Homo-oligomer: A and B are copies of this chain.
């Protein structure tokens, strides 16, 4: 499967304000990566009347889509998946507009009703976040979508007209907003949320949030915290932080809001009502935080194709796939990575009585073992540090920020150096120091045992007493290189981690 040529899939999202095109390079069901992105402000909603989209908006829409079509053809896109949302949905002439696009340009655009839009949001989120039960919230320009998730499935969804741009246009005339305007927005939100009959109240359902407003609220918080990862996968946005941001947006005039670190300056004018929506939903669900999903509608549309052999198209284990996808995108050395992972796993299991760790630590070790060498794509020298950087940049959907930090550190220390948590003090707890030391020792030993990159060590036997930890290697041929490297590079860390002298030897069958 990984031998076939990747194909390029375009996803077009014709929104109220912006028309977005992304291109995924993918082997369906195997791996994908974003390889291009174009964004054009089309303002479809501008001048909309009872008759629907204005002639000017229609012309702007057609001309952008014609360019997108040309662009897709020029860049060998094999398939275009296109959807239209609230502006086209609400316009009387929306269907006629889509017919013109199909006839004149040759792009078939699927018109999403509110529930279908919520469905795709949820596909995007569930393929990134290991949510089982809860609510998914997407705040757009025109509308917001809420989805009900149970047993990792989309159950139902609703769209209401609480988009950040829509509320701004309808309610805000002062800068900064007046108290009266603010209360009017709160009232409107409350009123509209009441219409979402299935929305659980005071039930402490986990909430996942997506869309630009929520990502920006997270970026503001990340910037204040000096958050050490560059990705927002799995970022936890607390209610107290949303409240602080709202307070700031209410106090500062636009030109000051634009300077808030983390906030994109072109969103400073409309972010307040979006933040109030987030707070209102949190209050209704009686929860203190939400988890950010970087994926949303466009990714959901893509995943329907990518996971088309699954029904519903939702990956059962987000973690496992996100590790593999990253490894594949960075051309990992599969055999070496798998063998290090195997040996690390064996050592982990055999040493379980000494460390007492379970499934979660095992999965952290698995990810680090599979990914530890990715940085070689940047360069051999300091490749352990490059792997750390790549993990900070990409994140690992399905793993929490704390777990991602541990995986980055395990990779960082797989060759040398004494494991330190200082880079990620914000994310790690005190006990993580011990977890890091032990897992780093195991990973470094596994790496040394596979230093020849030829799977010479087929298994290990681990025994110990009060004083000594003895690791006996089962090898295809006498493991001179592996013992040399292990004694030199891994034994000191093993000794420190397990507080025993370490002896590494090789199994010789009894002589007859």
A interface with B by C-beta (< 8 Å): 33-37, 66-67, 70-71, 74-75, 330, 376-381, 390, 393-394, 451-454, 456, 480-481, 484
Contacts and interface: CB of A to CB of B under 8 A. Distances in A.
15 contacts: A33-B380, A35-B376, A37-B380, A67-B480, A70-B452, A70-B480, A70-B481, A71-B451, A74-B452, A74-B453, A330-B377, A377-B377, A378-B390, A379-B393, A379-B394
Given A70-B481, A481-B70, A484-B67, A75 B452 contact: yes
Contact of A36 (B380, B394, B481): B380
Copies assembled? 2
B74 A34 contact: no
Contacts of A37: 380-381
Chain A contact residues: helix, strand, loop or mixed: mixed
A481 B34 contact: no
Given A378-B378, A378-B393, A454 B75 contact: yes
Contacts of A378: 378, 390, 393
Most chain B CB within a 10 A radius of its CB, from A34, A66, A75: A75
A71 B484 CA distance: 11
Contacts of A67: 480-481, 484
Contact of A75 (B377, B380, B390, B453): B453
A390 B376 CA distance: 12
Nearest to A330: B377
A380 B34 contact: yes
B480 A66 contact: yes
A337 to B, nearest CB: 15
A466 to B, nearest CB: 33
A328 B33 CA distance: 21
A207 B379 CA distance: 28
A74 B75 CA distance: 42
B74 A379 contact: no
Given A33-B380, A35-B376, A71-B452, 14 more contacts: A33-B379, A34-B380, A34-B381, A35-B380, A66-B480, A67-B481, A67-B484, A70-B452, A71-B451, A74-B456, A75-B453, A330-B377, A378-B378, A379-B394
A411 to B, nearest CB: 15
Contacts of A70: 452, 480-481
Nearest to A376: B35
A190 B35 CA distance: 60
Most chain B CB within a 10 A radius of its CB, from A34, A37, A71: A71
A430 B377 CA distance: 36
A419 to B, nearest CB: 19
Nearest to A230: B382
Contacts of A36: 380
Contacts of A451: 71
Which 8 residue pairs spanning A and B have beta carbons closest together? Answer: A74-B452, A74-B454, A34-B380, A70-B481, A71-B481, A75-B453, A35-B380, A67-B484
Contacts of A393: 378-379
A377 B329 CA distance: 8
Contacts of A75: 452-454
Contacts of A452: 70-71, 74-75
A481 B72 CA distance: 10
A36 B380 CA distance: 7
A15 to B, nearest CB: 19
A42 to B, nearest CB: 13
Contacts of A381: 34, 37
A378 B389 CA distance: 10
Contacts of A33: 379-380
A37 B75 CA distance: 40
A486 to B, nearest CB: 12
Contacts of A377: 330, 377
Contacts of A456: 74
A378 B381 CA distance: 17
A9 to B, nearest CB: 14
A379 B231 CA distance: 12
